Structure 1
Amino acid sequence: MKTYFLTLTFLMIGITITAQSEEEQIKTTINTYIEGTSYNKPETIKEAFYEEANLFLSHKEKEIWIVPIAEYASWFEKKERGQFNGRVGNILSIDQENDIAMAKAEILAKGKDIRYVDIFLLKKIKGEWKIISKAATRTN
């Protein structure tokens, strides 16, 4: 009975550690995106995304604005690389099941009174969590 209890305990600890490490990996991916957009690092932004990912953004003249990740990352090339641009990100939630996940983050643009809410879809690809899609909305 003692052996059974110890085996069950170690199994439960292993499951808990795995779940925590998956969530930490997802957080790392989202934080890579946040760092890239906060410090004008296009390559860091692309690192967080699957190479064929699209972003679904708000636009005053379009119902939906679909932007490929390469185009989105290029928007940060014109700014001074590595310099903080006022964007502060905070992960609000993560929901993960097996090799897929959904995350929600808030991005505040300091000095502009703008708040973005981003919803990310992620997939574990070749052992790494990648953002495969992002939808965002903007509020003042």
Structure 2
Amino acid sequence: MATNNPYATYQHNSVNTSTPGELTLMLYNGCLKFIHQAKNSLENNNFQEMNLSSQKAQAIISELMLTLDTSYPVSQNMLSLYEFVNSRLIDGNIKKDGTMFEDASAIITDFRDTWKQVIQINRQKQYGEVNEI
């Protein structure tokens, strides 16, 4: 991949060298970014940008739902929460209601923070090191 943009090169390399756990964390962070963009766009009455950002967040939620290993009982609960987040994003987009974006953001923030802790605990067990993510 030849590019003149060092940031794009960094992003490409970080995705290609990340563990599955780190990739999931990136998805959570991306989803939160798009939810916040949707809410900010709504506040600025930029409905086209709100729609686009909301759809990007929905695409990430869909990816998380598709890749969820449902062989574990906790996965069914996670799937239900992902479905709820997706419905809040859709309803927030249609009804132009920022509180629905906030609801979605709160749940994804909890998932992200928990996932971060899991990665840190696993690293500590594997390598005896504690690195902030």
Considering the TM-score relative to the shorter chain, is it more than 0.5? no
Higher strand proportion: 1
Q: When the two structures are superposed, what TM-score results if normalisation uses the length of structure 1?
A: 0.31
Higher helix proportion: 2
Q: When the two structures are superposed, what TM-score results if normalisation uses the length of structure 2?
A: 0.32
Larger Rg: 1
